[in-house]
Chains A and B, each alone.
Chain A
């Protein structure tokens, strides 16, 4: 009886055919892209991009601006903020999935045994990187960076210290608390989103959910300046909270995967 398994020569012929077809498709798309005009630069940019760039920091247009010097942060947390909150929820769904897959794996790691010089150097680098990561989050609306980038930086540096410092054992012992903290941070992000609507009974000023600066029919606005620095209203808060949200999500997943490999 003929089996479903494919012989080696058949498999090789199939691979060559797939490679040839994909090469042909790639070449066709490349030629199409060139002749479609996508690579021909116009002096004018896209209209939507220009509107966003004009209003990301525009003190002459109070109802459209975000007071963010970084246009990407303004897009992420103000212009399409609900999308970003849902993206954070997707990350939460993902780590819940990981938690379900590795739920019974709590074996603690072996204590790292490294020299005091390596340990103290690592601690210094860890502290410096954490400060830079925090500044990336807090300055997310003023310079390149933001909450996600900061969270990834924090996770990377902490994971890299696992073989040297005793952070892994500490974090694995606090595994459950990490998930609780992650939920609290997500709740805080949602609370910041709801502040404009929740303040109505106190101040009597209407506000929309996720409203950052005043709109034509709502004078409510989040604080846009701190002494002489723009804070971009809620964008500063979102970036700060998002950095820890991403950090906890990633560190939790890596902890579980790391434990799984040890066993």
Chain B
């Protein structure tokens, strides 16, 4: 088997593992009653998507792939063309940084809401909170 085929096969396996990771995260999000576990599942979900985005930007070059950073200041146009042909996609990496910052903002806010929820209801489990609300209505 050629080297490229081996790389493609391992890439397929890794991507499939990521997709299963998404499935596990969604399972946690749908079925776990604890808000904390839901938030962990959401973090797992978004991180997996980010890794997939970075992985999609990868590419193979016969001379070897390189990160999208010039190791030295290019002095000729040939060096520049060589760099652009060997480097992995920088656009997806930039998207992921943005996604991480936005994700972080959302997570900070969600965790704060969860803490306030705990202060008000004494629990972060949805079922307990719903039962508590039902009791309040009866009272």
A interface residues (Cβ-Cβ under 8 A, vs B): 5, 14-15, 18-19, 22-23, 25-27, 29-30, 33-34, 38-43, 45-46, 48-50, 52-54, 56-58, 60, 69-72, 74-76, 80, 83-84, 87-88, 90-91, 93-95, 97-98, 101-102, 143-144, 146, 148, 230, 246, 250, 253, 256-257, 260-261
Contact = CB atoms under 8 A, between A and B. Distances in A.
A248 to B, nearest CB: 13
Interface string B39-66: 0000000000000000011111110000
Contact of B70 (A33, A48, A60, A69): A69
A150 B15 CA distance: 30
Interface string B98-125: 1011101110110111011001000000
Contacts of B56: 38
A90 B105 contact: yes
Given A14-B31, A253-B108, A90 B69 contact: no
Contacts of A148: 97, 100-101
23 contacts: A25-B23, A27-B16, A39-B11, A45-B85, A45-B87, A45-B89, A48-B91, A49-B87, A50-B84, A52-B91, A53-B87, A54-B84, A69-B73, A71-B69, A72-B93, A72-B94, A90-B102, A93-B105, A98-B112, A144-B67, A148-B101, A230-B73, A260-B119
Interface residues of B, number: 59
B8 to A, nearest CB: 5
Interface residues of A: mostly helix, strand, loop or mixed? helix
Given A56-B90, A101-B116, A102-B112, A41 B101 contact: no
Contacts of B94: 72, 75-76, 80
Contact of A72 (B8, B97, B106, B116): B97
B5 to A, nearest CB: 10
Contacts of B85: 45, 50
Nearest to A229: B73
A55 B131 CA distance: 60
A42 B59 contact: yes
Given A5-B127, A18-B30, 18 more contacts: A22-B24, A25-B23, A30-B15, A34-B15, A41-B60, A42-B59, A43-B62, A46-B91, A49-B57, A49-B90, A50-B84, A57-B70, A70-B70, A72-B97, A74-B90, A87-B102, A250-B108, A260-B119
